[in-house]
Amino acid sequence: GTTGTTAATEPEFAGLTAIVTGGGAGIGAATIRALQSRGATTAALDLDPSGAPEGSLQIQVDVTDSEAVHTAVNRAAAELGGIDIVINNAGIGAQGQVDANDDAEWARVLDVNVVSVARVTNAALPHLRRSSAPAVVNTASIASMLGLPERVLYSASKGAVQAMTLAMAADWVGEGIRVNAVVPGTANTPWIGRLMEKAADPVAERAALNARQPHGRLVEPEEVAEAHCYLASPRNRSTTGVLLPIDGGMTNL
């Protein structure tokens, strides 16, 4: 909106811009839809951004490629008119006990899930410093809270995301850049769909997965998107250094 008389009813994210890594599918795409519906303009930074919601800028980029990330972030800033919100959400899985993954797999998963959070945030930092409502929201996972079996590498990567969230929040609390993380439980995204399809009996596997959740079902990506929006919101300026579980009670019950 442009007139003072409508200010009270302006959408929550009116005039704000967000970049969402992994915005081409699953939780990231749901977060883009939620931000758009509240008035934000958005860019999806993804290996395959074609699945990003309509109306979002789609930028093809591998978050492990430093030069490409800087180019993508600066392009988003130029086309959107700045960057107020960074949603670090791109991530990949890894299965198995500690002997399951070789050094190359450790390097790859940590690069995508951990180093990219620093890389994308660094690239966006000059833009965040010019913002009137800067916020970074990272996507962690309950995997690092619970000691889930067969998840050593993935859990390590998401534990690092939590630690980085707190450390960055501490560094920037004085200058007003908020940093928080959502901690999703098992969510109903293409990722989990792919895992189910690999099972001998996908229907039974899905039922078993639902039964393992305290609230009896998977978390919907739209529910994680709500948390991304809450943590990114210019209405929640006192919320920083928070790790917010969206997990049907899995972490704390």
Name the percent of the chain in helix, strand, coil, to the closest 5. 50, 15, 35
**Per-residue contact string for residues 145-184; x = within reach of ligand NAD by CB under 6 A:** ---------------------------------------x
| Count of residues that bind ligand NAD according to CB under 6 A | 27
* Contact assessment for residue 242 and residue 180, using Cβ atoms and an 8 Å cutoff: yes
Instruction: State which of residues 28, 53, 234, 245 lies at the interface with ligand NAD (CB under 6 A).
Output: 28
Q: Which is nearer to ligand NAD, 162 or 239 (CB)?
A: 162
- How far is the CA of 133 from the CAs of 127, 167, 222, 235, in angstroms? 11, 19, 23, 9
Instruction: State which of residues 17, 22, 136, 231 lies at the interface with ligand NAD (CB under 6 A).
Output: 22
The residue among 87, 71, 70 whose CA lies nearest residue 35 is 87
Q: Which is nearer to ligand NAD, 16 or 63 (CB)?
A: 63
What are the residue numbers of the active site? 154
Residue where the block lists tokens 């811009």: 17
**Taking the complex as a whole, how short is the minimal distance between the CB of residue 184 and ligand NAD, in angstroms?**
4
Instruction: State which of residues 12, 70, 74, 92 lies at the interface with ligand NAD (CB under 6 A).
Output: 92
Torsion, CA 173, CA 66, CA 27, CA 166, rounded to 10: -20
**Per-residue contact string for residues 34-73; x = within reach of ligand NAD by CB under 6 A:** ------------xxx-------------xxx---------
How many angstroms separate the CA atoms of 3 and 180, rounded? 32
Q: Which is nearer to ligand NAD, 57 or 63 (CB)?
A: 63
Torsion, CA 125, CA 154, CA 190, CA 121, rounded to 10: 0
Scan residues 129-148 and list those touching ligand NAD (CB under 6 A): 139, 141
**Per-residue contact string for residues 99-128; x = within reach of ligand NAD by CB under 6 A:** -------------x----------------
Q: At what angle do helices 190-198 and 202-212 cross, to 10 degrees?
A: 130
Report helix, strand or coil for 63. Answer: coil
**Taking the complex as a whole, how short is the minimal distance between the CB of residue 204 and ligand NAD, in angstroms?**
18
- Provide the pairing of β-strand 85-88 with 17-21: parallel
Part of the chain binding ligand NAD (CB under 6 A), chosen from 25-33, 73-81, 163-171, 234-242: 25-33
> Which DSSP string corresponds to 111-171?
IIIIIHHHHHHHHHHHHHTT-SS-EEEEE--THHHHT-TTBHHHHHHHHHHHHHHHHHHHH
**Per-residue contact string for residues 204-243; x = within reach of ligand NAD by CB under 6 A:** ----------------------------------------
The residue among 141, 224, 128 whose CA lies nearest residue 171 is 128
Q: Which positions lie near ligand NAD, rule CB under 6 A?
A: 21-22, 24-28, 46-48, 62-64, 89-92, 112, 139, 141, 184, 186-187, 189-192
